Amino acid sequence: MKQHPLCTDTEQASHVMDMAIPAEMKQEWARLQTRRHFLGRSGKVLAWAAMASLLGGRALRGDAHGPAYGQPGASDKDQFKLPNFAPKAKRAIYLFMSGGPSQVDLWDYKPGLAALYDKDIPDSVRGSQQLTGMTAGQARFPIAPSHWSFKRSGETGTWVSDLLPYTGRIADQLAIIKSTNTDAINHEPAIMLMNTGNMNAGKPCLGSWLSYGLGSMNDNLPTFMVLQTKINTHEDNQPVSSRLWSSGFLSSEYAGVGLRSAGDPVLYLTDPDGVDREVRRNMLDAVNDINRQTYQELGDPETNARISQYEMAYRMQTSVPELADLSKEPKSTWDLYGPDAREPGTFAYNCLMARRLAERGVRFTQVYKRGWDMHANVTRTLPLICGEVDRGCYALVTDLKQRGMLDDTLVVWAGEFGRTVYSQGGLTPDNYGRDHHPRCYTTWMTGGGVRTGITYGETDDYSYNVVKDPVPVRDFNATILHCLGIDHNKLTYNFQGLDQKLTGPTPASVVQGLLA
């Protein structure tokens, strides 16, 4: 496996006792080394990285919010041997398509529907499904065939909509899942379910589970970063919220950290006007000096942890601007990602940034792209949003591949549900709307651990029900964890007496057909 120069993973970093850190920290390190859960992670240096990282001392001391010292439940961490098996992917990038992309216009090719224009979708297909409050009262459910043609792409001959010409070029590298399905029919519960495995608030998201379970791979950037794509006024941008990157009942250290395209890339990162690096260094030296005195006086280990966090903050102040500085990217990068990528906050820019984060050892990056919620005006809006997203997806996957990183980086593209094949509101030959559709939608994965060049699962002739190989959200998440070397049944956290896990209480299974 090729080692990335900036990725300080297990094999390369220097030994903790050789590092320029306070003696007290070394003592703490020595003490911690004797703790089984600590060594349970793969090796001491990874653990050091965790100690110095955002995970901070807390993860090491094992006193995240939950079962306490010497109490039942605390034993869980001892059994925690992650990764559970050799991971294919070390890191993941999740391109989240908020709002619910229309599978029938993008991926789920149903040429037979053209003949059924404006015919009612048969009752037998719809069954007794509870619809959203928006179309439940609709008298008719007229079929709206896709306005766009599909083309066969790549050697696999995968059908891809004309709306995604760039993504079509990488079709051979994707595992396209046509049978993803969810239990929720409205945005809030569905987006929560997709991101946290539960429709109600309070549960940790995928990224937090990964941070908690795998820890950091670098010592100057957060483990889990979140990028928002700038919103456009022509789209109906359903909201997102910090709930989606929240750590729930896990310690809040595992929450996603926003990497912003406007203002400070990380909140409060930039020194105030009139404070240069030298002043900051001097100020920190004074603070650390006095804090060391405080430690000597009071002996509180938290004081030492604070010293190391202030140092980490200082390092972030250097590493993050370096990360956000794209001036050294070669022309080939811009040729690949296209002109949009030069504008901070666009989807293409975020894809490029996601690659840079991956290079620097960020474990999990989630890019949110909103605007897929098209209850009306699909023919006007869908091309616009596809135009924003298409090239970035292609460029990211291609870039990772060119750099040899695709083998150990998992890339996921998914929304929270699909859209109805019947039209919401008026149907005309030129336009239609589509309501939320939970029973089937298309997602894709590629990279580490994923069997590529396949289409997984099938839907019926109406792109309404899954007829083969359904992938419920919990299986989808179990598969993501698997690619990262985690058995979803073993990445647990004892909260309120239950071994909580991302996939929830209903049995979930890894979708073997998606694995390389």
Partner 1 sequence: MAKGAKLDFNQDVQPILAANCFSCHGPDPEMRKAGLRLDLEESAFKKRPGHPDAIVPGHPEQSELIKRIESTDSHHLMPQSPQGEAKPMKPAEIAVLKEWVKEGAVYRPHWAFDKPVKPQPPATSEAAVWGNNPIDDFVLARLKKEGLKPSPETDKATLIRRVTLDLTGLLPTPAEVRAFENDKAPQAYEHLVDGLLARPTYGEHRARYWLDYARYADTYGLHYDNSRDIWPYRDYVIRSFNANKPFDQFAMEQIAGDLMPSKTLDPLIASGYVRLGVSSNEGGTIPEELRANIARERAEAYGATFMGLTVGCAVCHDHKYDPTSQKDFYALTAFFNNIQERSFNNDRPVWEPMVRVPRAESQDAYNRVWARRSELAQRVRDLHLQQRDLVGKWLASRASLPQAVSTDKLMLRLRLDEGGGDELKNSAPHPQQASFPIGKSKPQWGETTWLWPDFRMETSTRIQLGQTGDFDTNQGFSSGGWFMMRSAPNYTSYAESGTLLSKMDSTQHNRGWDISIEHGILFVDLVNEGSKDLMVHKKADEKEPEPKNAKEVFQFPTPTDLTAQDLAPNKSKVQKELEKKSQEKKPAKKEDKPAEPKPPLDTTPLMAIRVSTLDPFPVDGKWRHIFFTYDGSGKAAGVRLYVNGVPVATNVVSDTLGQATIKNQAPMLLGMRSPDENPARETRYQDIRFYGRAVAPEETRRLPFEDYVAEVAGKPSGQWSDDEWHAVSQFYFDSIDKEAKDLESQIGALDAQLDKLSEGGALTMVSWERPSIAYAHVLTRGIYTARTERVEANTPHFLPPLPAGVPHDRLALAKWTVSADNPLTARVTVNRMWSEIFGAGLVETTEDFGIMGQRPSNPELLDWLAVEFRESGWNVKHMYKLMVMSAAYRQSSKVTPALVAKDPKNLLLARGPRFRMDGETLRDVALQSSGLLVAKIGGPSVKPYQPPSVWEQVGIGGSDTLNYEQQHGETLYRRSMYTYWKRMALMPDMDAFDAPMRDVVCTRRQRTDTPLQALVTMDDVQWVEAARALAQRVIKEGGKQPEQRIDMMSEILLAHDPPPQMAAVLEGSIAQMEKHYTADPKDAAKLLDVGEKKSDASIPAPELAAWTMVASEMLNLDETLNK
Binders in 185-204 for partner 1, by CB under 8 A: 185-189, 200-202
Residue of 34, 137, 155, 331 that binds partner 1 (CB under 8 A): 137
Interface positions, 212-271, toward partner 1 (CB under 8 A) = 228, 231, 233, 236-243, 246, 251-253, 257-258, 260, 262-264, 266-271
Query: Binding of partner 1 at residue 467 (CB under 8 A)?
Result: no
Q: Is residue 472 within a helix (H) or strand (E), and if so which, with residue range? A: strand 471-472
Looking at this protein, which amino acid is placed at residue 165?
P
Closer residue to partner 1 in complex, CB, 73/387: 73
Q: How far is CA 201 from CA 21, 52, 204, 416, 489, in A?
A: 40, 30, 9, 16, 21
Dig out the tokens for 304 from the structure: 């030492």
Taking alpha carbons only, the member of 26, 22, 28, 16 closest to residue 289 is 22
Q: Which residue has the tokens 């909580």?
A: 500
Interface positions, 334-363, toward partner 1 (CB under 8 A) = none
382: which residues sit within 8 A by CB, 6+ positions away?
102, 105, 163, 374
Question: Counting every residue, how long is the chain?
Answer: 516
- Shortest gap between Cβ of 17 and partner 1 (angstroms)? 19
Per DSSP bridges, beta strands 492-495 and 498-501 are antiparallel
Interface positions, 154-183, toward partner 1 (CB under 8 A) = none
- Shortest gap between Cβ of 256 and partner 1 (angstroms)? 11
What number of chain residues touch partner 1 (CB under 8 A)?
117
Integer Cα distance of 258 and 226 in angstroms: 5
- Angle of helix 277-298 relative to helix 301-324, nearest 10 degrees, comes to 160
Query: Binding of partner 1 at residue 134 (CB under 8 A)?
Result: yes
Closer residue to partner 1 in complex, CB, 236/460: 236
Site string for partner 1, 3-42 (x = CB under 8 A): ----------------------------------------
Site string for partner 1, 378-417 (x = CB under 8 A): --x-------------------------------------
- Shortest gap between Cβ of 435 and partner 1 (angstroms)? 7
Integer Cα distance of 320 and 322 in angstroms: 5
Integer Cα distance of 31 and 70 in angstroms: 17
Closer residue to partner 1 in complex, CB, 90/436: 436
Closer residue to partner 1 in complex, CB, 45/231: 231
Integer Cα distance of 155 and 135 in angstroms: 40
Residue of 133, 155, 327, 328 that binds partner 1 (CB under 8 A): 133
Per DSSP bridges, beta strands 441-447 and 175-181 are antiparallel
Closer residue to partner 1 in complex, CB, 149/242: 242
395: Cα separation from own chain's centroid: 18
Dig out the tokens for 244 from the structure: 């989606």
Q: How far is CA 291 from CA 56, 287, 300, in A?
A: 17, 6, 11
- Shortest gap between Cβ of 133 and partner 1 (angstroms)? 5
Q: Which residue has the tokens 């899954």?
A: 466
Stretch that binds partner 1, among 72-80, 86-94, 173-181, 390-398 (CB under 8 A): 72-80
Residue of 17, 30, 136, 384 that binds partner 1 (CB under 8 A): 136
Closer residue to partner 1 in complex, CB, 115/262: 262
N- to C-terminal Cα distance for the chain?
Answer: 16
Calculate the CA dihedral of residues 171, 175, 178, 179 and round it to 10 degrees: 180
Closer residue to partner 1 in complex, CB, 137/330: 137
- Shortest gap between Cβ of 405 and partner 1 (angstroms)? 26
Interface positions, 482-501, toward partner 1 (CB under 8 A) = 489, 496-498
135: Cα separation from own chain's centroid: 31
Dig out the tokens for 208 from the structure: 């937090």
Closer residue to partner 1 in complex, CB, 344/513: 344
Q: How far is CA 194 from CA 78, 185, 289, 320, in A?
A: 29, 12, 46, 29
Query: Binding of partner 1 at residue 120 (CB under 8 A)?
Result: no
Integer Cα distance of 418 and 486 in angstroms: 28
Closer residue to partner 1 in complex, CB, 270/333: 270
196: Cα separation from own chain's centroid: 11
Residue of 26, 44, 65, 451 that binds partner 1 (CB under 8 A): 65
Closer residue to partner 1 in complex, CB, 104/427: 427
Interface positions, 421-460, toward partner 1 (CB under 8 A) = 424-428, 430-433, 435-436
Query: Binding of partner 1 at residue 312 (CB under 8 A)?
Result: yes
Stretch that binds partner 1, among 43-51, 156-164, 173-181, 307-315 (CB under 8 A): 307-315
Neighbour count for residue 300 (Cβ, 10 Å): 11
Interface positions, 365-384, toward partner 1 (CB under 8 A) = 375-377, 380
Interface positions, 276-305, toward partner 1 (CB under 8 A) = 276, 278-280, 282-283, 286-287, 289-291, 293-295, 297-303, 305
Site string for partner 1, 41-60 (x = CB under 8 A): -------------x-xxx--
Indicate the burial class of 61 (C-beta count within 10 angstroms; 0-12, 13-18, 19 or more): middle
Closer residue to partner 1 in complex, CB, 294/465: 294
Closer residue to partner 1 in complex, CB, 52/511: 52
Instruction: Confirm if 190 and 417 have CB atoms less than 8 A apart.
Output: yes
